[in-house]
Amino acid sequence: MKILCATDFTHHSDRAAVAANAIAYRCGASLEFVHIRESVSKHFHASDEVTLALTIARGASVRLEERANSFSKEHTSPTWKLLSSENGETLASTLARHATETQVDLIVVSTHGKSGSKLWPMGSLAAAIVAASPVPVLVVHSSEPFVAWKDLGIPPLKLFVGLDLNEESGQVLQALQKFHLDRETKITAGFVQMLHSFIGDPLVIDIQTFPEDEKHLKHRIQYLVDKYLKNTTAEIKVETGFYSPAHYLVEMAKHEDADMVVVGTHQRSGMTRLLEGSVSRGVLRESMTSVLCVPLHQLERKANAMPEPKMIESLDTERSIFCATDFSERSSEAALASQALALRFGTTYEIAHVVEDYHIWPGLPKDAIHTLHAGASSRLKQFVDPLIKRGLSPQQTILDATGHESIADCLLKHLEATQPILAVISTHGKSDDSWFSIGSTARRIAHESPVPVLITRTARPFKHWIESEEKIHILGAIDTDDEAQEVLEWMKHFGDAGPCSFTLAYIDKSHSYYYVPQPLEEQAITDYVDSLTFEECKIREKAKSILGEKADITALAKHNWDGVSDGLLQVAQDAKIDMIILGTHQWHGMRRWLHRSVTTDLINRSEISLLCLPMRPQIIRHDKDISSILP
């Protein structure tokens, strides 16, 4: 690793030299000091130009050597070199060329702190170097934090890292690891979401882009930090505003009393920078602390970045996957899961939001509903933008719940009309008292949907299934033969799409329907255990006939006095299940009140995603005659 420090022999550049030496010492890098010799003014006579140029070169060489020797006692043994600008080169381009030729990893420079009226005629050399450099550039304001960090690491170096919500921001975090800036440091990661207003009908109302939930944004930033800074903790800060994001980042860093601000730079120039702006340049201009600018190289979107979907003959891939969102954190997990499944299954997918008209009351403008629609469309676009960057763009749909129609009614009507392969929804976890007053949209959709419904709790297993080819662990709840067939067919869909581990569970609670006044005889218990063992063998053989001999299958048949849902949850906990597949009988009216629903119990209590398969209502019958084993 090599660090390059540019000096112009001022006290400002001496601070940069001390900081560069500290970083080189901590990460075991070589250090080189350079000074760029500019051409002599043409106002001098030709014979004087040569003499003056030699004098300047000899003087610069002596001063460079002095600075290099002053750090040689600290085991960094820096070298030095005098650079000359070629024809038409600026100081920034000369430094960038030398960094490329010598394969430098980091450039350290100082800043003269020019701003305001001084900045316009003279420009900022530090900003020009940042814009031209192919490697990260550290612009030093003070060397004291780096000296303390080099010697003992006490107090820790306080870093404020400005991030975006894309994978390119990972390069900023990777730079911290590369230069050991993640060790004995306190890291705060910050993000600023900007609200851009646009003018609608001036006679009605101005419409603004709706902000995303800050809690959800923190989770997305935390995901990037965990991915690129493993085993490193970081505090997450999120701000929302209308002004320059650079200003907000600087203020956030000032509030955290940061010793250094770390940002990425797209190195925009010309009209692109004029139209789109530059956050890194704004941070350089406003920050009074050192700034590390990391050039963000555009990531190649390789065709094989995502796993190629396999041919799933049993699945109608002409139909899409549907996802409903209310812009909450939980529905964001549903959106990520639906995209992962669409990528695996090789289908398109649709994300929809329902606009309810009960928000319109007398006295509001007639076209207020259009304002709601425009706001919902804008927010939906902002919601799916991160998904588009992940690889697959969803269809965006706004649905209207008119009259006394509920959200569930509207979604069920849309599912009936479009007939997707799968509907993916989230649940707010309402149960007991909170459910009676508000109702559960997820529960109603699961009981009335014409298509299978995946109720998500977290998208993490589905993302890992896509990104790192990790197995997804699926539990299939087996009851009747018809239900077993449906569950196994959906298990096969997942098995054909990617690596899976299958657990099949039959929970028998038939003894619970009867009052047993005395303990069962030993022979009766033995016969009952044998019957469960036979049930396991039957389930296993049927699973192999559908899933294949090589499938990773575990079959279990157990008794549970408390009920089927309790037994399934216990099996799911023991086997570390990611998703439960079960059939739902979709009972209505009195039948739903009279018969306890396993689906309802699991929606209320399970923290695992549920795939609910619609089954035709059928009368419960006790196929097994257990009277022979009762005393």
Residue count (the chain): 631
* Distance between CA atoms of residues 34 and 27, nearest Å: 20
Has residue 293 got a pLDDT over 90? yes
User: How large a percentage of the chain has pLDDT more than 70?
Assistant: 75
pLDDT: which is higher, 375 or 417 = 417
Q: What pLDDT digit, counting tens, does each position of 38-68 carry?
A: 665 544 555 556 666 777 778 888 888 888 8
Q: Which pLDDT band, with edges at 50, 70 and 90, does 367 fall under? A: low
Q: What pLDDT digit, counting tens, does each position of 329-360 carry?
A: 888 889 999 999 998 888 899 999 998 765 55
Task: Specify the range with the lowest mean pLDDT, choosing from 5-14, 230-239, 371-380, 545-554.
Answer: 371-380
Q: Please report, as a single letter, which amino acid is at residue 324.
A: A
pLDDT: which is higher, 382 or 116 = 382
Supply the mean pLDDT for the chain: 78
- Which among 363, 325, 364 has a CA at the least distance from the CA of 210? 325
* Distance between CA atoms of residues 457 and 372, nearest Å: 28
Q: Which pLDDT band, with edges at 50, 70 and 90, does 629 fall under? A: very low
Rounded mean pLDDT, 569-577:
90
Four-CA torsion 68, 70, 75, 76, nearest 10 degrees: -30
Which residues make beta-bridge pairs with 293?
137, 263
Q: How far is CA 116 from CA 56, 113, 120, 267, in A?
A: 32, 10, 7, 22
- Which among 216, 160, 218, 165 has a CA at the least distance from the CA of 189? 160
Rounded mean pLDDT, 425-434:
64
Which residues make beta-bridge pairs with 34?
6, 81
pLDDT at 549: 87
Structure tokens at 280: 């890194």
pLDDT: which is higher, 511 or 112 = 112
Has residue 395 got a pLDDT over 60? yes
Q: How far is CA 277 from CA 133, 246, 297, in A?
A: 18, 10, 18
Q: Where are the beta strands (DSSP E) in 431-529?
A: 453-456, 472-477, 500-508
79-84 and 500-508 beta bridge pairing = unpaired
Phi-psi region of 113 (alpha: psi -120 to 50; beta: other; left: phi over 0): left
Has residue 299 got a pLDDT over 60? no
Q: What pLDDT digit, counting tens, does each position of 101-150 carry?
A: 999 999 999 986 554 433 433 347 888 898 888 999 999 998 888 988 88
Structure tokens at 19: 């900081």
* Distance between CA atoms of residues 118 and 121, nearest Å: 6
pLDDT: which is higher, 307 or 543 = 543
pLDDT at 278: 83
CB under 8 Å, gap of 24 or more: what pairs does 115-121 form?
115/285, 119/285
pLDDT at 623: 42
Residue tagged 């109720």 (tokens): 455
pLDDT at 67: 83
pLDDT at 438: 45
CB 598 within 8 A of CB 583: no
pLDDT at 590: 58
Rounded mean pLDDT, 596-600:
79
Has residue 241 got a pLDDT over 60? yes
| CB contact burial 103-130 (16+ within 10 A = b; e otherwise) | ebbbbbbbbeebeeeeeeeeebbbbbbb
Q: Residue 421: helix, strand or coil by DSSP?
A: coil
